[in-house]
Amino acid sequence: MTRLRPTVAEIVEQTLALYEDLDFSYVRAWKSKSTSRRAVGFMPVYMPREIIHAAGMLPVGVMGGGDRLDIIKGDAYFQSYLCHIPRSTIELALSHRLDSLDGMVFPSICDVIRNLSGMWKLLFPEKMARYLDFPQNFDPALGGRFYRQELESLRSALSELNALPPQDSALTHSICLFNKNRRLVKALYDLRASKPWLVPTYEAYLLLRAGNILDVEEHTQLLEDYLVRVESEPRKPMDNIRVIVVGSFCEQPPLGLILTLERAGCYIVDDDFVLASRWITADISKTGDPLEALVEAYLKNSTFHSSKFEGSTPKWRHLIEQVKARQADGVVFAAPSFCDPALLDQPQYEKGLEEAGIAHTTFKYAENTGQFQNIREQIGTFSDSLKLWSEAP
């Protein structure tokens, strides 16, 4: 029997429901199918999900509570000058919404997420909590070797959760599944860049967020369905400018903010939302030692990012290349308040863009920002200024 593909509207409805479900019901349902099933959460920005998947577990991206979670207990754990995502993540856990997760991985991105790993150990000693360090030295013999040891250590910790030894064949299989998924995410981003009127970022974003929760094969199917269906959507180009959004890689902007950017006259043709699904930019090798393949992918084929050390090349070079590749008219720096990685990079990016004559604008947000009018006016003005006064092509 032929499977009937869901419509775009149905896909959006499904992904929106996943996005809004702060109880992680999908994870609970997935685990309920077998008592041996385990789920492991991970924080932004990047996590080699293949390792969790290969252990027979569900990798679950946790990106805070957004704007739909009342912070009742979380504020008591963080000073006012710290970003919002740790307090909403603690809130999720203290309100038992993360009970379905058997462990959490805190990848190296900044000191706040790093320290959150220790808070987890203190608050939830019965759960696995791991800090995952990434190499800042990109020499395979140095940083590569260190990263491999980190991954081996993580693998051992995971195997303690379900008492199953790690298997290379399983890891290779997982790599293949995630390769396919990444190719489709790339196709989604490429389609949005070439026909942005066809793929609103609102929808692309929800699809990406669904990938944080769904089993990878299910998510891959969803991406395939969307990419087929959306081509026949009766959507027409508008007189929007093309922008790249930078700085929103960890604490996520509320969905309303993404909609606001689009309604203010912007096609978002690239961004750094939900980067875990796009961190690795090429297929990971499916031959040879799979752990080594993950290491090599990180060292050679990972995207540029604020959490990665750039010792000799100017920070902005990659961004300018991205602007050119995506034929963007400008850059919107949208960073969460108190986000060290994004905000410390921002002046460097701005300098590079100014030297290259690329327009940009800046604002800050929090994941629970509720008022978008001032942002709409700012971005609307930015969009109008580029449309009205930039040089004609």
Where on the chain is the footprint of other proteins (CB under 8 A)? 76-79, 81-82, 86, 106, 108-112, 114-119, 121-123, 130-133, 135-137, 139, 141-143, 145-146, 149, 153, 306-307, 309-312, 314-315, 337-341, 343-348, 350-351, 364
SS3 151: helix
DSSP-assigned letters across all residues of 241-255: EEEEEES-SSSPPPH
Question: Of 144, 278, 160, which is closest to residue 211 (Cα–Cα)?
Answer: 278
Helices (H), the chain: 8-20, 25-32, 49-54, 85-94, 111-123, 145-162, 168-194, 201-213, 216-230, 255-263, 290-300, 317-325, 340-356, 373-389
How far is the C-alpha of 9 from the C-alpha of 15, rounded, in Å? 10
How far is the C-alpha of 62 from the C-alpha of 117, rounded, in Å? 13
The nearer residue to other proteins, 117 or 174, going by C-beta atoms, is: 117
Q: How far is the CB of 343 from other proteins (least distance, A)?
A: 4
The nearer residue to other proteins, 11 or 101, going by C-beta atoms, is: 101
The nearer residue to other proteins, 154 or 269, going by C-beta atoms, is: 154
The nearer residue to other proteins, 146 or 202, going by C-beta atoms, is: 146
Torsion, CA 79, CA 121, CA 99, CA 251, rounded to 10: 40
The nearer residue to other proteins, 107 or 254, going by C-beta atoms, is: 107
The nearer residue to other proteins, 59 or 352, going by C-beta atoms, is: 352
DSSP secondary structure code for residue 189 in this structure: H
The nearer residue to other proteins, 130 or 326, going by C-beta atoms, is: 130
Q: How far is the CB of 89 from other proteins (least distance, A)?
A: 12
- Token pair 């195997």 is found at 159
Q: How far is the CB of 378 from other proteins (least distance, A)?
A: 16
Q: How far is the CB of 247 from other proteins (least distance, A)?
A: 11
Q: How far is the CB of 2 from other proteins (least distance, A)?
A: 49
CA dihedral sign of residues 40, 124, 208, 327: negative
Strand 266-270 versus strand 330-336 pairing type: unpaired
Radius of gyration over every alpha carbon of the chain, rounded to an integer in angstroms: 20
The nearer residue to other proteins, 139 or 218, going by C-beta atoms, is: 139
Q: How far is the CB of 382 from other proteins (least distance, A)?
A: 17
Q: How far is the CB of 319 from other proteins (least distance, A)?
A: 14
Q: How far is the CB of 206 from other proteins (least distance, A)?
A: 29
What's the distance, Cα to Cα, between the start and end of the chain in Å? 51
